[in-house]
Structure 1
Amino acid sequence: MKTIQPDQLLEKIKKGENVNIIDVREDLEVAAGKIPEANHIPLGDIPHSLDKLDKNKHYYMVCHSGGRSSSACEYLVNQGYDVTNMIGGMLAWPGETK
């Protein structure tokens, strides 16, 4: 599984790179703050949300500490998607949240 450190992902955002971030936490967790560029799809909704994802794009998966996003990555890789797990999740995120 591909992984990225939170500071590396933040650097991509700061450089203006086109990043597709999916936050797989639950609604209440996201309400407390998420990466501004992230789209929210709770982990349990991923199998029913494949029509929202493009197999030609690369996605960075994020959760609270890295476990759920790792599960999402495994599932999506098996479905043919190009994904990277952000290590440490939002607990390790050094950037702003909204």
Structure 2
Amino acid sequence: MQQSVRDRIVEVTPAEVAARMKRGDQPKIIDVREDFEVAEGMIEGALHVPMADLLDTYQEWGQDEELIFVCRSGRRSFAACQVLKLVGFQNVKNLAGGMKQWQA
């Protein structure tokens, strides 16, 4: 039975990502929110790539590189993960709950 792309999207919790960052790990976090949303704050070290610009930017990343996507609630970032999976990326992850859940 073939898995759908949706079934293959890994979700990570904000607590998991924050713990990794506190240990010194620097995961590549890509924030797909709009400019007005990131003006309210971003995860330190995150790269801002609005969802509309994703298809113009993804070639800059390695297909096996870990990429953690974040948005306000987790829906747009989940969609970003789906798109990248469809074009061959292997290690994309969605930040569950998005910035609404981020507290680090």
> Runs in 1 of length 4+ with deviation above 2 angstroms?
none
CA offsets per residue over residues 28-62 of structure 1, 9 Å max, x none?
10111000110000011111112222223110000
* Larger relative strand fraction: 1
Select the structure of larger CA radius of gyration.
2
Structure 1 gaps, min length 5: none
Partner of 1:72: 80
The alignment yields a C-alpha RMSD, in angstroms, of 0.9
In 1: Cα distance, 2:13 partner to 2:26 partner: 17
Query: Where in structure 2 are the equivalents of 1:3-82 lying within 5 Å?
Result: 3-81=11-89, 82=91
Residue 48 of structure 1 aligns to which amino acid in structure 2? D
Q: By how many angstroms is 1:80 displaced?
A: 1.4
Give aligned-pair identity as a percent: 37
Q: State the secondary structure of the residue aligned to 1:70.
A: helix
Residue 93 of structure 1 aligns to which amino acid in structure 2? W
Partner of 2:6: none
In 1: Cα distance, 2:100 partner to 2:76 partner: 13
In 2: Cα distance, 1:83 partner to 1:15 partner: 21
Residue 16 of structure 2 aligns to which amino acid in structure 1? Q
Q: State the secondary structure of the residue aligned to 2:19.
A: helix
TM-score by length of 2: 0.87
